[in-house]
Amino acid sequence: MAAQYEHSIAFDKLKGVKEKIQTNYTSLQYLQTLNHFLWEALTPIATECPELFRNYLCKIIARQTLKSSAKFTSNDRTKLPAQLFNALMAENPVELAKDMHINRGLLFGFISFFLNRLAIYKKLHEQAVLGPRTRSICHHIEQQMGLRSGGQLYPAIRDVEHWSAKARKWKEQIVEKYTRMAIMQAQSTYKEYNYVVKLDDIVQVYLLVVSKAIDRCDSRHGVITTFMQNWFKSAKGEVAKLAEGHQDSSYEGLVEEHGDAIHDVLGTSMPDLSAEMWQHVAFIAQQVDPEGLVRTKMGIPQYVTLRQRKLLEEFIHE
**Torsion 166-80-230-207 (CA) sign:** negative
Query: Which pTM value belongs to this model?
Result: 0.74
pLDDT at residue 302 in the model: 54
Cα separation, 157 vs 44, whole angstroms: 8
Query: What residues pair up with 73 in beta bridges, in sequence order?
Result: 102
pLDDT at residue 268 in the model: 42
pLDDT at residue 4 in the model: 74
pLDDT, tens digit only, all 318 positions of the chain = 456 787 778 888 888 888 888 888 999 999 999 999 999 999 999 999 999 999 999 999 998 888 878 889 998 888 889 999 999 999 889 999 999 999 999 999 999 999 999 999 999 998 877 788 899 999 999 999 999 999 999 999 999 999 999 999 999 999 999 999 999 999 999 998 888 888 999 999 999 999 999 999 999 988 999 999 988 998 998 898 888 765 444 444 444 444 444 444 444 444 444 444 444 455 555 555 555 555 554 555 555 555 655 666 665 554
Q: DSSP secondary structure string, 238-293? A: HHHHHHTT--TTBHHHHHHHHTTHHHHHHT-------HHHHHHHHHHHHHH-TT-H
Q: What are phi and psi of 81, to 5 degrees?
A: -60, -40
pLDDT at residue 71 in the model: 85
pLDDT at residue 18 in the model: 83
pLDDT at residue 10 in the model: 80
